[in-house]
Amino acid sequence: MQIDSSTVFIPGATSGIGLGLALRLRAAGSTVIVGGRRTERLAAIAAEHPGIGTVEIDTADPASILRARDEVVARHPELDAVVLMAGIMEAEEFKDPSSLEIAERTVVTNLLGPIRLVHAFLPQLRSRGSATIVTVSSGLASVPLAVTPTYNATKAAVHSLSETLRVQLETTGVRVVELVPPATQTDLMGLNDNPTALPLEDFLDEVMGILETQPEVAEVLVERVKWQRHAEREGRYDEVFATLSARYRD
């Protein structure tokens, strides 16, 4: 993706990594539209950053996805990139029956949402001749965290989906880039207060550096995430899994 000349829609950019990436891409010269459910956040972003567009979208609702797609494409017929950022992460406990609701919500938002978004935006992206879909998985796609079973599973699925989508689209001009964040300080599951998580601006510095120097990259892997992503190939899977599982047992 050309960071300085793309027109990018980021559903899931009212806070955290999505908003940070939106501001970085805008500063680099791209046109950026952010989306999310929290209309008060969208209004605040529009007021603070007049160059950034905003669109209300609930990626768990198929009708809302199509409405937002129509609005974005009508306003920006040159749209050539979509970042599938919207996601939720909540602790679950299989011994507590009420966790089923969390699991169902997580699958709809983190897995069905990106699948529906790809279907909704693909005709537009294909019509551009050259375009990009950025999927957002996680280091937990490679080694799971026992506190969040369904979250990990959806992110492993997003990784798998990214691989096959890339193959299916290879003759279309639409590239698939997988962004793989490690634990990063955002509102997600209280990570803002976690000193072991990567500061958001440090994460964004590395991401922008990778996108700028490797515009053809398939996976955006910052150094911190390689502990998880490369665990299996480097023979460290059991050790990393045991470390992550200890956080549940504590």
Ligand X SMILES: NC(=O)c1ccc[n+]([C@@H]2O[C@H](COP(=O)([O-])OP(=O)(O)OC[C@H]3O[C@@H](n4cnc5c(N)ncnc54)[C@H](OP(=O)(O)O)[C@@H]3O)[C@@H](O)[C@H]2O)c1
Binding site for ligand X (CB under 6 A): 11-18, 36-38, 41, 57-60, 85-89, 109, 136, 138, 181, 183-184, 186-188, 191, 197
Shortest reach from residue 137's CB to ligand X, in Å: 7
CB 68 within 8 Å of CB 35: yes
Q: 31 in helix, strand or coil?
A: strand
H-type alpha helices, the chain = 16-28, 39-48, 62-75, 99-107, 113-127, 149-168, 200-213, 226-229, 237-249
Of 32, 21, 8, 1, give the one whose Cα is nearest residue 177: 1
Q: In Å, how far are 6, 49, 82, 114 from 157, measured between CA atoms? A: 27, 34, 19, 11
Name residue, tokens 């997580």: 106
- Cβ-Cβ contacts under 8 Å for 214 (sequence gap 6 or more): none
Shortest reach from residue 104's CB to ligand X, in Å: 13
Shortest reach from residue 116's CB to ligand X, in Å: 11
Name residue, tokens 């009420």: 98
Shortest reach from residue 192's CB to ligand X, in Å: 9
Dist CA 136 CA 85 (whole Å): 6
Shortest reach from residue 186's CB to ligand X, in Å: 3
Q: Which amino acids are annotated catalytic?
A: 151
Dist CA 195 CA 199 (whole Å): 8
Closer by beta carbon to ligand X, 12 or else 144: 12
